[in-house]
Amino acid sequence: MEQASEPERGVSRRGFLATSAAAAALAAGTAGAPSPAAAATAGPARAGASVVRVTLRVNGRERTLSLDPRVTLLDALRERLDLTGTKKGCDRGQCGACTVHVEGRRVLSCLTLAAGLDGKAVTTVEGLARGDELHPVQRAFLECDGLQCGFCTPGQIMSAVALIREGHAGSEEEIREFMSGNICRCGAYPGIVAAVKAAGERG
């Protein structure tokens, strides 16, 4: 473990640790706390510095980032990796627009600190299609018009892919229930249900 260097602008290492602890507390229950290894790289104790080194496997590709420990997975994707398909609709886990898969499970990336995901596999909406060939769920959303403005659509699709895989697309009622973490203000719900149903039936 490196020694803390002198804070540049009056923020002590103690302050940094408090920030880190708060961040860890936030992440608990969603994606786990930052790993000790990640915290150990936090040498220069300066709030806002890129002090946590994290390697993510994003859509099958290894991406190593030096991050401010406060950075959420959502902002890491959008602001650091330019994967802007994942959307910020509320930044507090209430709308589902930021839904991605971590190790195959859907998570709200706005409530997940990137620092806690070292070594983890992340799949975003950009990782679904195979070249020009759309994922069956993407195709179904397009054909069933399960979208309007499109802003919630990436999150809807990531949820749909997961719930079909989990076996929760058995009936329209079940689809409605399991898709209710993803708000669509345009009200494309009838089309979304039709799309999930169609994609589920296609297998």
Partner 1 sequence: MTRTSLGAPLDRVDGRAKVTGAARYAADNNPAGLAHGYFVLSTIAKGTIRSIDAARASAAPGVLAVYSHANPLRLLPPRSYIAQFIGEPQRAMQDAVVRHYGQIVAMVVAETFEQARDAAALVTVEYDAQPPAADFLAGVPGARDPQTPFGHPVTILADGVPDIDAALAASEVTHTAVYTQPPEHHNPMEPHSAVAMWDGGKLTIHSGSQGPALHALDLAEGLGVPQEDVHVIGPYVGGGFGGKATSWSPTLLAAAAARALRRPVKVVTTREQLFTVTGHRTASHLTVTLGARRDGTLTAVKNLAVTTFEIENPASPPTAAYKCPNLDLRLKVVDLDIPRRTIMRAPGYAAGTFGLECAMDELAHELGLDPIELRMRNYATASPDKGLPYASKHLDECYRVGAERFGWSRRKAEPRSVTDGQWLVGMGMATCVLPSSQHAGAARVRFRANGTVEVACNTADLGTGAMTVLAMAGADRLGLPVGRIRPALGDSTLPVAAEGDSFMGAVGSAATSTILSAVHDAAGEAITALIAHAVSDARSPFHGMDAQDVRYSSGVLEGGGRRAGFGELLTTTGTPGVEAVTTATLGEDTERYAFITSGAHFCEVRVHRLTGEARLSRVTCVVDAGTIVNGKTARGQIAGGVVMSAGQALLEGAYVEPATGRIANANFADYLVPVNADIPAVDVHFLDHPDTRYNPQGARGLGELTGTGVAAAIANAIYNATGTRVRDLPITPDKLLS
Bridge partners, 99 (sequence order): 108
Write 82-88 long-range contacts (CB < 8 A, 24+): 83/58, 83/59, 83/124, 83/126, 85/124, 85/125, 85/126, 85/154, 86/124, 86/125, 86/154, 86/155, 87/151, 87/152, 87/154, 87/155
Q: Which of 4, 21, 26, 183 binds partner 1 (CB under 8 A)?
A: 183
The radius of gyration of the chain's CA atoms, rounded to the nearest angstrom, is 19
Q: Which of 39, 169, 188, 199 binds partner 1 (CB under 8 A)?
A: 188
Which among 33-41, 79-87, 115-123, 163-171 is the span making contact with partner 1, rule CB under 8 A? 79-87
* Residue 124 near partner 1 by CB under 8 A: yes
- Find the shortest distance in angstroms from Cβ 38 to partner 1: 16
Which positions from 7 through 36 interact with partner 1, judged by CB under 8 A? 8-11
- Find the shortest distance in angstroms from Cβ 173 to partner 1: 8
Contact 120, 38 (CB under 8 A): no
* Residue 92 near partner 1 by CB under 8 A: yes
* Residue 6 near partner 1 by CB under 8 A: no
Q: Dmax of the chain from CA atoms? A: 61
Q: Please identify, using beta-carbon distances, which residue of 39 and 196 lies nearer to partner 1.
A: 196
- Find the shortest distance in angstroms from Cβ 29 to partner 1: 17
Q: Which of 65, 147, 163, 164 binds partner 1 (CB under 8 A)?
A: 147
Please give the helix or strand (H or E) that residue 107 lies within, else none: strand 105-108
Q: Please identify, using beta-carbon distances, which residue of 102 and 128 lies nearer to partner 1.
A: 128
Q: Which tokens belong to 69? A: 């420990």
Which is nearest to 157 in space by CA: 173, 186, 174, 136? 136
* Residue 130 near partner 1 by CB under 8 A: no
Please give the helix or strand (H or E) that residue 62 lies within, else none: strand 61-67
Residues in the chain: 203
* Residue 41 near partner 1 by CB under 8 A: no
Using CB under 8 A, list all residues that contact partner 1: 8-11, 46-49, 68, 70-71, 75, 78-79, 82-92, 94-95, 97, 124-126, 128-129, 134, 138-139, 141-143, 145, 147-154, 157, 172, 175-177, 179-193
